[in-house]
Amino acid sequence: MSNLYLKENPTLKDIQEYVYKLKIERGFNTTDKVYESLLLAEEVGELIKAVRKNLKDAFVDITANPKAEDVKEEIADVLIFLLSIANMHNIDVEEAFRQKEEKNKTRVWKKN
């Protein structure tokens, strides 16, 4: 029985805290950054595979394409490992996002 609970309309920080708690509850890694990075890479691979399998239906609405559920699940897996790595570095992801976006806004983006 799990004691995990994610409130309605969570902030990104709420989700980060939830990810930390799920790692503790399930006895998963909370300290080895390299191992966690390998697991993130694995999950990114699973996401790309799911996207590839859905390519022919790529422009179909998710509600009309049950196979896109695979993509949805892998996106959740990637988010878990991404937030876990942030947690291991005491990084507030919202703050990191805001700071990087402010930096990005000052960049000149070249069109390919």
Using the minimum distance from each CB to Mg ion, give the nearer residue, 36 or 74.
74
Q: Does 46 bind Mg ion (CB under 5 A)?
A: yes
Cα gap 79→88, rounded to integer Å: 14
Binding mask 74-93 for Mg ion (x = CB under 5 A): x--x----------------
Using the minimum distance from each CB to Mg ion, give the nearer residue, 80 or 87.
80
Q: From the CA atom positions of the chain, what is the Rg in Å? A: 17
Least distance to Mg ion, CB of residue 83, Å: 15
Using the minimum distance from each CB to Mg ion, give the nearer residue, 17 or 46.
46
The residue assigned the tokens 């890479």 is 41
Q: List, as one string, the DSSP characters of 30-74.
A: SS-HHHHHHHHHHHHHHHHHHHHHTGGGTTS-GGG-TTHHHHHHH
- Residue numbers at the binding site for Mg ion (CB under 5 A): 43, 46, 74, 77
